[in-house]
Amino acid sequence: SGDAAGSFILRLARALGDQRIRVRVLAPHAPDLPTRETISGIDVIRFRYAPASFETLAYTGTMAEQVGASWPARAALLSMLGAGFGRALREQRRLRPALLHAHWWFPSGVLGAAMKHLSPLPLVTTMHGSDVRLARSTRPARSAFRWVVSCSDAATSVSRWLSDQAHAIAPAHPPPRVAPMPAATELFSPGPGRERDRLLYVGRLNAQKGIELLLRAVAEMRRLATLDVIGDGPDGESLRSLASSLGIAERLTWHGALPQERLAPFYRRAAALVVPSRDEGLGLVAVEAQLCETPVVAFESGGLPDIIEHDASGILVKDFASAALAHAIDDLLDNPERALELGRAGRRAALRVFAPEAVALTYATIYRDVIAARSPARSAATESPQRP
């Protein structure tokens, strides 16, 4: 509940069912979650890897922070790898799938690559953003990343920028194919209540997300806009202090992290969603806003140009500076008719690229291609609802 990554993987799994592909999900356990359940027709198996009080690495977005901060978390990570490998082998023997799909090269891709040494199953590995930043971080991480890519029958990434980043780390292999994750079209749609000078930020409160520049931009704007901040993270206290020092604290509302199903009213109310990230892998919050016909203002960073065509379906700011961001937001708020047009165009673009059925068709094609390449006689197996 509330896990955005889990929600788009579940959404993809459901949509793949319409392509006559059955998906089963293997994932780490976390406190208060069952070890087995069926969600929207998708069988989910969660493996235990530590005592309950230490099973905190998954579904929080803080795995890297936890592992960097404590030895118990590092031990839990090693245990996760070992337990995940053992459980994956058992489930592979029991279920006999046609293909493995690992989301994030670490840790899931590492498990998939290790299994390739014991099983002939094709492996598809998808990079989402944070995992590629991890791959860039150290020489051992780069080596491990290259090994996972070399073991994968197909690698995909959720944006063109991320594909370029991954290819720069592993240039001996083809660049990952661009295949985004599906958006929650069933949750996000246009509605009444738009407020002309109300801005919205949705995301983690950390340096990579660039919210410090957004706070400075709000202080520098001509218009006295308000800002809703949805999310939490390690920089929360320092950002609140910055807002006070900038004299804008009374115009900000801090909502903390909210589950995805509670976000739509915020998107519909906002005059604009601002995405000030430095190197966003894709930025599904921008897609969610577009589905609500909320215009998006973002830095021309990472995978965001895959979502936003400047001045056609949103606003991209080239200069990574608070003054440039403030000017772009002021200009948008000064022109409500333009904002309305950008919002409508954004929704059309989002539906075309990120609708679950479109994304599922892309992945179904990738699956069938790699299965056919490995064993032409077996490619017909993907036409059965029992596989992969």
Q: Which amino acid is at 216?
A: R
> What is the SS3 assignment for 388?
coil
Q: Distance (Å, rounded) from C-alpha 211 to C-alpha 214?
A: 5
Domains of the chain: 4-182+356-382 (3.40.50.2000), 198-354 (3.40.50.2000)
With 0.85 as the threshold, say if the pTM is over it.
yes
Q: Distance (Å, rounded) from C-alpha 334 to C-alpha 44?
A: 48
Write out the two tokens for 145. Answer: 């990343």
Per-residue pLDDT of the chain (388 residues; tens, 9 = 90+): 446 667 899 999 999 999 999 999 999 999 999 999 999 999 999 999 999 999 999 988 789 889 989 999 999 999 999 999 999 999 999 999 999 999 999 999 999 999 998 888 999 999 999 899 999 999 999 999 999 999 999 999 999 999 999 999 999 999 999 999 999 999 999 999 999 999 999 999 999 999 999 999 999 999 999 999 999 999 999 999 999 999 999 999 999 999 999 999 999 999 999 999 988 889 999 999 999 999 999 999 999 999 999 999 999 999 999 999 999 999 999 999 999 999 999 999 999 999 999 999 999 999 999 999 986 544 444 444 444 5
Element (H, E) at 200: strand 198-202
Closest CA to 30 of 67, 59, 2, 3: 59
Q: Distance (Å, rounded) from C-alpha 45 to C-alpha 22?
A: 14
Contact by Cβ (8 Å): 293, 347: yes
The residues, ordered by sequence, that sit 6+ positions from 316 with a Cβ below 8 Å of its Cβ are 298, 299, 300, 304, 305, 308, 310
Which pLDDT does position 385 carry in this prediction?
Answer: 40
Q: Distance (Å, rounded) from C-alpha 306 to C-alpha 133?
A: 19
Contact by Cβ (8 Å): 188, 288: yes
